Amino acid sequence: MLLKFAIKSFLDERKLNNVSPHTLDRYTRTLDEFHAFCVSEEIVNVEEVMTPTVKKYLLHCQEAKGNGVVTKNSKLRVIKTLFNDMVTNEYITEKQNPAKKVNYGKEDIIIPVFQDYHIKQMLSYYRNLKQKDKSYYAYRDYALILFLLSTGARVGEASNIRWDHIDFENKAAIFFGKLRRQQSVPLVDKLLAELAEWRLFQERKLGQKPIYVFSTDDNKQLSPNGIKLIFKRLQAKMNFKDVRLSAHTFRHSLAYRFLRDGGDIVSLQRLLRHQNMEITRKYLSAFGHVLPEINERHNPLNNLDI
pLDDT band at 264 (very low <50, low <70, confident <90, very high): confident
Q: What is the pLDDT of residue 109?
A: 64
Q: What is the 3-state secondary structure (H, E, C) of 178-212?
A: HHHCEEEEECCHHHHHHHHHHHHHHHHHHCCCCCE
Percent of residues, the chain, with pLDDT higher than 90: 68
pLDDT band at 183 (very low <50, low <70, confident <90, very high): confident
Q: What is the pLDDT of residue 305?
A: 66
Q: pLDDT tens digits for 78-121?
A: 999 999 999 999 999 999 999 999 999 887 667 789 999 999 99
Domains of the chain in sequence order: 3-96 (1.10.150.130), 116-294 (1.10.443.10)
| Average pLDDT over every residue of 142-147 | 96
pLDDT band at 258 (very low <50, low <70, confident <90, very high): confident
Q: Rounded to an integer, what distance in angstroms lies between the CA atom of residue 117 and that of residue 261?
A: 18
| Average pLDDT over every residue of 123-150 | 89
Q: pLDDT tens digits for 34-59?
A: 999 999 999 999 999 999 999 999 99
Q: What is the pLDDT of residue 297?
A: 67
Assess whether pLDDT exceeds 80 at residue 268. yes
- Which residues are registered as beta bridge partners of 131? none
* DSSP notation for 3-27: HHHHHHHHHHHHHHTT--HHHHHHH
Q: pLDDT tens digits for 278-294?
A: 777 777 776 666 666 66
Is 279 in a helix, a strand, or coil? helix
Instruction: Tell the burial category of 231 from Cβ atoms under 10 Å away from its Cβ (0-12, 13-18, 19+).
Output: buried
**Do the Cβ atoms of 183 and 174 come closer than 8 Å?**
yes
Assess whether pLDDT exceeds 60 at residue 175. yes
For the chain, what is the mean pLDDT? 89
| Average pLDDT over every residue of 165-173 | 94
Q: Rounded to an integer, what distance in angstroms lies between the CA atom of residue 39 and that of residue 254?
A: 44
Q: What is the pLDDT of residue 177?
A: 64
| Average pLDDT over every residue of 66-75 | 91
| Average pLDDT over every residue of 220-244 | 94
Compare 201 and 301 and report the one with higher pLDDT: 201
Taking Cα atoms as reference points, which of 109, 141, 108, 113 lies closest to residue 258?
113
pLDDT band at 178 (very low <50, low <70, confident <90, very high): low
- Which residues are registered as beta bridge partners of 45? 2
Question: 158: which residues sit within 8 A by CB, 6+ positions away?
Answer: 144, 147, 148, 214, 227, 247
Global pTM value:
0.67
